[in-house]
Amino acid sequence: MSIADEELLETVEEIDEEPYVEFDISVAPSDPSLELLASQIQRGDIIIPFYQRKFVWKIEQSSKLIESFLMGLPVPQVFLYENDQGELEVIDGQQRLMSVKYFIEGYFGEADDKGKRQVFRLKGLAERSDFNGKTFEELPPRYQRKVRNSTLRAINIRQITPSGTGDSVFHIFERLNTGGTLLKPQEIRNAVYRGEIVSKLWKLNETPEWQKILGLKKPDKNQKDVELVLRLFSLFHSWKDYEKPMLSHLNKFMKDNRDFDSAEAEKFAEKFPKVAELVSENLEKPFRPRGIINSAVLEAVMVTLLEDDTIDGTRLRDGYKRLLEVPEFLERITGGTTDTVVLQRRIEIAKQTI
């Protein structure tokens, strides 16, 4: 899919307080062999986060990396985060690590739809290079040993304090990932707080009426639409307990609900498609008081509908029209919309009006 084909959700910018976090972390360098790294990935001891949906390097890029090891040249270090289960999550270095694994395996990339894989022959090296066109198995034994025994500097990060919070790991990913694509908040959450909640949010986000509300033909490539679903879930029957900033609130909520197995999760999953259908059928281009999606308006109205099964199409149409004429509500849908008092009062007004 080309960038031009991908959907982008445009929303009114919100001012959210930047959370302040102090870390007490252990940072320990290590020099594992390439053979060890490849086997750790194979076993699942090293986890490649799935926010990068596929391996993106060309075979020439991976070949140059392997050539660097064969020639004894330095290779940039990788960052690994040790989670509570002792697994090592790749913060930075996915392409390098997977290139190593693929070369030692003998196949470049994953299998295609027919189950076939491309043989990994070194490509794009100098014409006179003795390694050009060689697979790992075709290298002379001494060079096979050199590849297996070469080391790659890894920076291993482990959080000591604060414990039990959702923000710290999130910020480590945010600040240390140096990949070609700047990761967006929801993409980082999906990697850091992975669990059943990720697939559930994705499924709910694909609700046709929800995508129609947002004006999208396909889900947003930066997952801002998924983040909006998470935001609604996090405020469902609990908005009175909300505390700013929104970033920290969503991080903690996703961490605490990663199994998506609570009674509230079940209720939300049942109600969300119905509410999306109610809005889609009764409001034309909703939640756009000034042309583009306003998350604050969307949140206030959708939470109201999620919590009140008695609202029908007529009440929604009439109430929504009145709501956008309430001065106190309009004051709370731009600027610092994620402030605790502002958010809570905005939902109160929506519930009273609709």
In a domain, 36, yes or no: yes
In a domain, 52, yes or no: yes
CA distance 16 to 161: 24
Nearest of 305, 303, 310, 301 to residue 237 by alpha carbon:
303
Both 67 and 133 in one domain: the answer is: yes
Both 212 and 150 in one domain: the answer is: no
pLDDT for position 312: 97
- Please identify, among 92, 126, 161, the residue that sits at the C-terminal boundary of a domain: 161
pLDDT for position 210: 98
DSSP secondary structure letter of residue 109: S
Number of domains in the chain: 2
In a domain, 12, yes or no: no
C-alpha distance from residue 346 to each of 240, 303, 330 (Å): 11, 11, 9
In a domain, 294, yes or no: yes
Both 153 and 187 in one domain: the answer is: no
Both 232 and 151 in one domain: the answer is: no
pLDDT for position 41: 95
Strand pairing class (78-82; 88-92): antiparallel
Both 42 and 110 in one domain: the answer is: yes
pLDDT for position 288: 96
In a domain, 250, yes or no: yes
* Tokens 């919070």 found at: 165
In a domain, 5, yes or no: no
- Please identify, among 134, 161, 188, the residue that sits at the C-terminal boundary of a domain: 161
Both 345 and 203 in one domain: the answer is: yes
- Please identify, among 161, 189, 214, the residue that sits at the C-terminal boundary of a domain: 161
Both 146 and 91 in one domain: the answer is: yes
Both 142 and 266 in one domain: the answer is: no
CA distance 299 to 229: 9
pLDDT for position 191: 75
Both 133 and 216 in one domain: the answer is: no
Both 72 and 108 in one domain: the answer is: yes
pLDDT for position 2: 37
Both 111 and 73 in one domain: the answer is: yes
In a domain, 11, yes or no: no
The predicted model scores a pTM of 0.73
85: CB partners within 8 A, 6+ apart: none
pLDDT for position 166: 47
Domain containing 188: what range?
Answer: 180-353
Both 142 and 229 in one domain: the answer is: no
Low-confidence ranges of the chain (pLDDT < 50): 1-5, 52-53, 166
In a domain, 2, yes or no: no
Alpha-carbon Rg of the chain, whole angstroms?
24
